[in-house]
Structure 1
Amino acid sequence: MAVPASTARVPGNPVSGLPVPALTGFTSRWVDGGGVRLHAVEGGHPDGPAVVLLAGFPQTWWAWRKVMPALADRYHVIAIDLPGQGHSERPEGSYDTHTVAAHVHAAVQALGVSAYWLVAHDIGAWVAFSLALKYERHLRGVALLDAGIPGITLPDSVPTDPGKAWKTWHFAFHVVPGLPETLLAGHERDYVGWFLRAKAHSPGTFDDAEIEQYAATLAADGGLRAALAYYRHATESARKNHETLQRQHLTVPVLGISGSHGSIPDMAASLRPWAATATGVVVADAGHFIPDEQPGAVAAALADFITESE
């Protein structure tokens, strides 16, 4: 159950003046992710298998707020804001997914978790794929939700057909130097609102308060710069992915979760060339934002995946 955001500054919060939303049964904390302070929200069964959740653009850990309580009875649940996202620090430097993966894994280790299941959506899935390549021995399995992962599931070119282009046009826009910042500064709410409402199968999935919350995190303390940096370093992410894949493929169980009306029709098919075992689930009546749109189906798919893979 969600409760209203606190207006008090949370000790350790590197993003000043930005309220921290709270979720009943879960605790916010900040941990050292290899020199970058990352925001983690932790709860659930302390002795259960650890499940780490990563969100994507333009969201934060709050994207998992409906899924986390459904997992809490059986699992030690940890949702982490990526560097530059939500209430995590917004560092300068590279946001290629191998660099970011090292920060995320360090944060998980700082929480005392040595082995975990990794579940990630959108840009979170970019990071999760690279993390799995770098730290596979610490993972029990990986679930990736509707993500165009650079060099893996992302098409080589952006389509110009209006019926398809609306799903991926922003990849090209975000890498243009300077222009997105000029056009989006002060208009974060409009931009975030378009993404959340256009890419959800049901336009009523997100209310005005949620849009305002995500827009505020994007506008705060370098959030827009950091969000764009993931796209601007996507070529480097793809290069490092393929460089690593020349030496190894994923051997941990992989689950691809697609939405019936999402961006990647069959995540599992896109991942199979790179994984020893990849199974897939297509969630009905869901667009791109599957955890928000069909949280019960996502929680059930994750529980089945973990049970079947143990």
Structure 2
Amino acid sequence: MTDPAITARVSDNPVPDLPLRDLTGFTHCWVDAGGIRLHAVEGGQPNGPAVVLLAGFPQTWWAWRKVMPQLADRFHVIAIDLPGQGHSERPDASYDTHTVAAYVHATVKALGVSTYWLVAHDIGAWVAFSLALKYESRLRGVALLDAGIPGITLPDAIPTDPDVAWKTWHFAFHLVPDLPETLLSGREREYVGWFLKVKTLSPGTFDDAEIEQYAAAIAADGGLRASLAYYRDAAESARKNRKALEEQHLTVPVLGIASSHGSIPDMAASLKPWAGNTTGITVPDAGHFIPDEQPDAVATALADFITEGD
């Protein structure tokens, strides 16, 4: 049964000045998730296995737009904007991934879902890993796409070799107090465009309209502050992850999805020390933004992972 804390009224959208994009067969709602409103997009088969999708920087739920319709004929599909992302509220609270994981899990629970498969990319994968540590009994399986996890697989030092430094240089930049805001305010489009063009195998993966949309989400109502907060709270995320792993390792099935030209060469290998039931695939002809670059391959891999697990 759906929780009464859910509303589909656009008037309850905490970011009303940001255009709301529709996806055929899916509906928008906002959920009271422990005191903040998170935006979710829901569709597919209500009685099918639930699949929850989380995106990363600098994207929103729209990152899954090419994958969601391919899952909808078999699964109950829910894409959630993380706090500070897209049409979700931008709280002045902590953005460490254990705190954010509690908001995400509360959202799924409010939507009437008791157990689910969790699929996440980039910073979304940071949150997903912490969520799995906190709520593993509620998960059927976890798929993580091209992400270094704070305290787990994310290096403590930023490489200085030019051949690899361009992939992670922004981690240190985002940690600097005030300077990113000073340099990026009013130039969100240029900044977001750099990531979306340079970190894809094909620079034409994202058109101008998509770049504008993601940039507008970061520019709107505290979005830049919230985006940076995930990086600024990464040390706390790492501390909580390490503490949790002292008591338990993950036993839930985990799928590590890497790509031929991504940031993490082998996601499965990087996760296996902390998640024994881990398998992996590498998606060819893709950079960092795998769901945008190779949505068919991602959808097939997820469907196979879920079907085998069920």
TM-score by length of 2: 0.97
Q: What is the aligned partner in structure 2 of residue 297 from structure 1?
A: 297
Distance across 2 between alignment mates of 1:36 and 1:283: 36
After TM superposition, where is structure 1 displaced by more than 2 Å over at least 4 residues in a row?
A: none
Q: What is the aligned partner in structure 1 of residue 168 from structure 2?
A: 168
Is 1:244 the equivalent of 2:247? no
Is 1:218 the equivalent of 2:218? yes
Is the 1:51–1:77 Cα contact (8 Å) retained in structure 2?
A: yes
1:308 to partner: Cα distance? 1.5
1:262 to partner: Cα distance? 0.1
Q: What is the aligned partner in structure 2 of residue 62 from structure 1?
A: 62
Q: What is the aligned partner in structure 2 of residue 182 from structure 1?
A: 182
Residue deviations 1:106-152, cap 9 Å, x none? Answer: 00000000100000000000000000000000000000000011111
Is the 1:12–1:30 Cα contact (8 Å) retained in structure 2?
A: yes
Q: What is the aligned partner in structure 2 of residue 276 from structure 1?
A: 276
What SS does the corresponding residue of 1:42 show, helix, strand or coil? strand
1:276 to partner: Cα distance? 2.1
Distance across 2 between alignment mates of 1:278 and 1:88: 31
Residue deviations 1:145-178, cap 9 Å, x none? Answer: 0001111121121111111000000000000000
Distance across 2 between alignment mates of 1:309 and 1:45: 18
Q: AA paired with 2:65?
A: R
Residue deviations 1:188-230, cap 9 Å, x none? Answer: 0000000000000111100000000000000000000000000
Distance across 2 between alignment mates of 1:276 and 1:114: 24
Distance across 1 between alignment mates of 2:246 and 2:238: 12
Distance across 2 between alignment mates of 1:12 and 1:64: 23
Is 1:23 the equivalent of 2:23? yes
1:34 to partner: Cα distance? 1.0
Q: What is the aligned partner in structure 2 of residue 209 from structure 1?
A: 209
Gaps of 5+ in 1: 1-8
1:93 to partner: Cα distance? 1.4
What SS does the corresponding residue of 1:221 show, helix, strand or coil? coil
What SS does the corresponding residue of 1:143 show, helix, strand or coil? strand
Is the 1:153–1:267 Cα contact (8 Å) retained in structure 2?
A: no
Residue deviations 1:27-86, cap 9 Å, x none? Answer: 000001111100000000111000000000000000000000000000000000000000
Structure 2 matches for 1:1-310, cutoff 5 A?
10-310=10-310
TM-score by length of 1: 0.97
Aligned-residue sequence identity (percent) comes to 80
What SS does the corresponding residue of 2:273 show, helix, strand or coil? helix
What SS does the corresponding residue of 2:34 show, helix, strand or coil? coil
Distance across 2 between alignment mates of 1:281 and 1:11: 42
How big is the alpha-carbon RMSD for the aligned residues of Structure 1 and Structure 2? 0.7
Q: AA paired with 1:107?
A: T
Distance across 2 between alignment mates of 1:135 and 1:265: 28
Q: AA paired with 1:120?
A: A
What SS does the corresponding residue of 1:100 show, helix, strand or coil? helix
Q: AA paired with 1:286?
A: A
1:10 to partner: Cα distance? 2.1
Is the 1:201–1:286 Cα contact (8 Å) retained in structure 2?
A: yes
1:11 to partner: Cα distance? 2.4
What SS does the corresponding residue of 1:79 show, helix, strand or coil? strand
What SS does the corresponding residue of 2:43 show, helix, strand or coil? strand
What SS does the corresponding residue of 1:102 show, helix, strand or coil? helix
